[in-house]
Amino acid sequence: MVNTMFFDQLLSTLPDGNLLSVQVGLYWTAVVLDVDGETRCGLAGTLGDNSHPYTNQPPISEAGNLLKHSARDLAGLVNSEKTSEVSIGLAAVNALLPRLPDRWVDIHAEQVIARFGAGKNVALIGHFPFVPRLRPRVGNLWVLEQEPREGDLPAGLAPEMIPQADVLAITGATLINRTFDSLMALRRPGALTLLIGPSTPLSPLLFEYGVDIISGSIVEQPEAVLRGLSQGANFHQLRSMGIRLVSMAAHDLSVL
């Protein structure tokens, strides 16, 4: 599977670091670590299995003891069978990834989709806050969502809609819930493919797996972001606390 192959290949390239903090917030999970004297914070969406809080099967097996691990060991949770642990692992991956400022452009995913989706069919996996603004800027916008809101389509229609899309934008959360592979398999040849959202690893390795453009986030003010995250902040709030939105392209930054 692409999901497993990607993570195994990515994990083998990452440095190690000292874990400083793991926080699982209402909407976002954060891992803070030190890599060669640099403090880094990685984010991933908080996804869980919705089990009862009193169950004997905890969603995070070592809750309360995660800091005893190395940063790379924690990142290895991306291969866990427990979704909550995958969120933690992906946040650790995003913290460990080397910074590549020469490959980033300060462009929001909304702007990228609007540019390439003008007059085109766009399939967006996941309901993002920018949907109302984006809709009039593209030809057709099909938002596929597991919990559809007004104007969205149920995720089950993906096999029907995605093959019709000229532009496919997939939320990075699909790397957590293990739907990335199946969605990528539905693309028609030549469709422009984006992986977007704060969970998205800013790694050029994704380009080897069929992604054309990556849009993700960099935490520039870890202390403020962690404070907001621990108090239940959503991403709009966290962004104003110190998060930078960037995009990178497979071949030529000038396309952005």
> Looking at 4-18, 115-129, 134-148, 212-226, which range is the least confident one?
4-18
**Are 86 and 22 within one domain?**
yes
DSSP 255: G
Residue 62's CATH number: 3.30.390.100
Give me the pLDDT at residue 51, please.
Answer: 53
Burial of 190 (0-12, 13-18, 19+ CB in 10 A): exposed
Rounded Cα distance, 254 and 241, in Å:
29
Residues 145-191: tens digit of each pLDDT: 999 999 999 999 999 999 999 999 999 999 999 999 999 999 999 99
Select from 101, 49, 115 the least CA-distant residue to 244.
101
End position of a domain, from candidates 99, 115, 137: 99
Instruction: Decide if 45 is inside a domain.
Output: yes
Burial of 251 (0-12, 13-18, 19+ CB in 10 A): exposed
Which is more confidently placed, 60 or 113? 113
**Are 150 and 27 within one domain?**
no
Instruction: Decide if 226 is inside a domain.
Output: no
DSSP 143: E
Residues 58-90: tens digit of each pLDDT: 788 778 889 999 999 999 999 999 999 999 999
Report the residue count for the chain: 256
Q: What average pLDDT does range 223-236 have in this prediction?
A: 95
Give me the pLDDT at residue 223, please.
Answer: 95
Give me the pLDDT at residue 53, please.
Answer: 58
Instruction: Decide if 165 is inside a domain.
Output: yes
